[in-house]
Structure 1
Amino acid sequence: MFETTVAPAPGAHPDGHAASFDQARHAGAGSRPGSWLAVAFAVPPVGLGRIGDAWRKVIDRHGTLRTVLREDAATRTTPPGSPRLIRTHDIVVTGGQWRRVGDGSADPRGVLRELFDVACDPFGTPSYRLTVTTHEDGTRTAVIGLDHSHGDAWSLLVLARDMLAVLGVGEHEGVDLVDGGVPEMPASVPSFADHTRDLERRPTAPTEVRNRWARIMADGDGVMPRFPLSLGDVSSPRDEVVEVVDVLDTDGVAALERAAQDAGVRLLPLAVSVLVGVNHRMDAGALRAVFPVHSRRGPDGDRRRWADSVGWFITNSVLECDSADPLECDAAVSDAIGLGAYPLEPLLRPWGGMPQTPGMFALSWLDNRRLPVQLPAEAQPQHVSAWIRTDGVMAWFVLNNDGMRLRVRYPQTPEACQTVGTWSQLVTEGLREIAGVQDAEPVDMVS
């Protein structure tokens, strides 16, 4: 593990700056295991010294990696249950060294989870770590882990791409070669703190958007959407169950895309039509789900301003639809994206922020094929998951160049295993049916 040492940035404001709405929600829950996310990827057979130097260059490029979160001292004396005021503070990297972790006999995945549970903490200084595992055949795998307050899935790809670019692997727009053919990273990209301040300067949401949020919250009795079927007793978080199913291969995805084109919509609304149909089939009512959307939209004339930055560029919206007609699903998706185009904190202020409701249901759509950040195939990138306790349901639809997968996380109760398992199976079968996949293997959920 590369242990980075840091210090307060000279001249930084002693009180720091306001954290984003999502950063404050995340850090306000306090230090806890499983608050991180990570990416693993193959690195070339070079020395650890060169890998460490490459990581320092990446840190120098990304201002987000030179910030830490702190709880404002004034909030420590507020009554229990009061919102915690979280601030972002600037730091500088003063050095770093490699440190061995584990004895070499344990499963590296378990060692990494234990390490990141401690090191990648919302209030870590810093809240990220780089590790490198050397395999018996001499190949090496790097893993970058960081607390969620400093990154999202897109950010992980940016960090891995930049590391590989400095190490001379793959292509990187704007990377120049200096003496000896060593890539040199370009100037720093905008940090997530800049994005937070930019949001604060934006106009408030129009009346129709505020009214739409008010209706959403009223329909949910003041809470965010919940999974529409029984999850059993989730009055407190339970151990998680994470299941993954290979829904379609590349040919199946291509067929699904043709079906979407024939229906006059994109792939996501067609998938939403399947979700609505499954709800109806299970007597679960209309589809209502928290719907994360990215907030990397740059200003006019600089639409890619945040594309190469690292941070939590995600905001939450709500997707609602009660019709399986793909065109109506398309309108519902557009509505949800529009709701997520405005800062969330002022909109949810009447409800004390975004309520963390037991049984909350969220849907995420991630088409990695369309991201402007791509990794070379030889890097073999993989998402590394934390283990958490949960009281809600989260479903990710992930599309890569090898097909579509459905990943579902839910609390480990007998009722949730039954209802969420059935829901996942019907969703998978519905997507396969539209794609015309007749001879697919039975749905095999892999934990």
Structure 2
Amino acid sequence: MRLTTVARMDISAGQVHVFETTVAPAPGAHPDGHAASFDQARHAGAGSRPGSWLAVAFAVPPVGLGRIGDAWRKVIDRHGTLRTVLREDAATRTTPPGSPRLIRTHDIVVTGGQWRRVGDGSADPRGVLRELFDVACDPFGTPSYRLTVTTHEDGTRTAVIGLDHSHGDAWSLLVLARDMLAVLGVGEHEGVDLVDGGVPEMPASVPSFADHTRDLERRPTAPTEVRNRWARIMADGDGVMPRFPLSLGDVSSPRDEVVEVVDVLDTDGVAALERAAQDAGVRLLPLAVSVLVGVNHRMDAGALRAVFPVHSRRGPDGDRRRWADSVGWFITNSVLECDSADPLECDAAVSDAIGLGAYPLEPLLRPWGGMPQTPGMFALSWLDNRRLPVQLPAEAQPQHVSAWIRTDGVMAWFVLNNDGMRLRVRYPQTPEACQTVGTWSQLVTEGLREIAGVQDAEPVDMVS
């Protein structure tokens, strides 16, 4: 699944339709709802704003909109997460500005839905989708997701499912697209076939993210060594999360984003990099971390320190796949620290970061008032789609679509698919950040290619 932005996604001209659902409170639902997850509360606590969503685009068979809408209703019925909404607790709506906002999840039912034509088909679908999702896919939307279908001049159709980040992550996008294609019976239609031409068996429902949140609340408190490790991390960062180690200029307020997308390696290059990692006695991620540490040293930027998202979908013993087919924000944050380019030491640093992310974050960061919102924050994400248990056929042309936002930090995604490795970097549009982050991403790309033995590097594709 290719990672792209709403401004650069691959979608031809056509008429956009959106499926608008009607909802109501679920019968018997608790009037006060349930506690939102730590990340949901942080995300929604920032309030309604454009660009808080993510989306998946994929080709669907040329069937009627009625059938596509019915399929979407079945997917909603399957996923309890799509039958929840976030609301701010009434008691906190009158608290002074800057006070914590209490966010709760509430159960809903979908009572109906209908297709609505958006525009007259003359506008670029990218702009239409951005405008639509910026309003509809809001943290407090009821619901906070939308299914759209763009019908192109040649009769083909592209579905795009957008949802607020509080209800999904990159893995969830794969799940939604897979389930839609399966319910549509893809395999009967030319051009978009599931692997082996089959439709995977799907139970009528899967555990919801709200179940996962309650499961986390019941887990034992993190051991003393983990609490002490977080205390050292926060002390080393003067009480804030890791920041990009080079100048970003004035980021006292968010700036327009700049996005660089680099095709780092093709499949042969990734295979060569994997052989190099095996020779070093590690997997791909620690080897990539060794390159990042080396770039930091080369740029006199000190040790590598970055926020490191870790997925939390691992189920209990005997049911490891409990959350594999669910939709939700199954991500927690850890911190990756390393000052040695030795791959074995980088491997130990990665293991340490994953271990830190194995425990609920809210009680660990409570002494600092939760996870601090730090201007200049630096985060690294590693997603190897090849290893996920959820796969999409290449014929569906799946795309992970990010929103356009304003930002004051740096986020880098390393994404591996069956066609190679890409690096996507987002940072604020300041002269200093364009220089420092642009140089950093170029050196990282060159370092990975050098280990893989790749010459004649392609230029960086910068998107602003």
The answer to whether the 8 A contact 1:175-1:184 is kept is no
Question: What residue number does 1:111 align with?
Answer: 128
The answer to whether the 8 A contact 1:166-1:184 is kept is no
CA gap of 1:290–1:180, structure 2 versus 1, over 3 A, is closer
CA gap of 1:266–1:185, structure 2 versus 1, over 3 A, is closer
CA gap of 1:180–1:12, structure 2 versus 1, over 3 A, is farther
For 1:446 and 1:402, the matched residues in 2 are separated by: 21
For 1:315 and 1:303, the matched residues in 2 are separated by: 17
Deviations 1:213-234 (A, max 9, x none): 0000000000000000000000
The answer to whether the 8 A contact 2:258-2:463 is kept is no
For 1:61 and 1:243, the matched residues in 2 are separated by: 36
The answer to whether the 8 A contact 1:286-1:320 is kept is yes
The answer to whether the 8 A contact 2:85-2:105 is kept is yes
CA gap of 1:349–1:332, structure 2 versus 1, over 3 A, is same
- Tell me the SS of whatever aligns to 1:77: coil
Deviations 1:99-133 (A, max 9, x none): 00122111001100000000000000000000000
For structure 2, list consecutive stretches of 5 or more residues without a partner in the other structure: 1-17
CA gap of 1:289–1:441, structure 2 versus 1, over 3 A, is same
- Tell me the SS of whatever aligns to 2:461: coil
Deviates more, 1:222-231 or 1:373-382: 373-382
TM-score of the superposed pair, with normalisation by structure 1: 0.97
1:408: how far off? 0.3
1:445: how far off? 3.9
1:383: how far off? 1.4
Question: What residue number does 1:331 align with?
Answer: 348
For 1:173 and 1:304, the matched residues in 2 are separated by: 32
CA gap of 1:136–1:441, structure 2 versus 1, over 3 A, is same
The answer to whether the 8 A contact 2:414-2:422 is kept is yes
1:296 aligned onto 2:336: no
Deviations 1:43-69 (A, max 9, x none): 001000000000000000000000000
Choose which of 419, 425, 434 in structure 2 pairs with 1:417: 434
For structure 1, list consecutive stretches of 5 or more residues without a partner in the other structure: none
For 1:215 and 1:86, the matched residues in 2 are separated by: 29
CA gap of 1:283–1:69, structure 2 versus 1, over 3 A, is same
CA gap of 1:176–1:360, structure 2 versus 1, over 3 A, is closer
CA gap of 1:171–1:84, structure 2 versus 1, over 3 A, is farther
Deviations 1:73-106 (A, max 9, x none): 0111222211100000000000000000122111
For 1:203 and 1:444, the matched residues in 2 are separated by: 46
Deviations 1:405-440 (A, max 9, x none): 000000000000000000000000000000011233
The answer to whether the 8 A contact 1:28-1:86 is kept is yes
> How many correspondences in the alignment?
447
CA gap of 1:326–1:72, structure 2 versus 1, over 3 A, is same
CA gap of 1:126–1:197, structure 2 versus 1, over 3 A, is same
The answer to whether the 8 A contact 1:166-1:183 is kept is no
CA gap of 1:414–1:237, structure 2 versus 1, over 3 A, is same
CA gap of 1:7–1:183, structure 2 versus 1, over 3 A, is farther
Choose which of 47, 50, 75 in structure 2 pairs with 1:58: 75
Choose which of 348, 369, 372 in structure 1 pairs with 2:389: 372
CA gap of 1:229–1:80, structure 2 versus 1, over 3 A, is same
1:172: how far off? 16
CA gap of 1:277–1:180, structure 2 versus 1, over 3 A, is closer
The answer to whether the 8 A contact 1:176-1:185 is kept is no
Deviations 1:385-416 (A, max 9, x none): 21100000000001011100000000000000
CA gap of 1:442–1:99, structure 2 versus 1, over 3 A, is closer
CA gap of 1:219–1:181, structure 2 versus 1, over 3 A, is closer
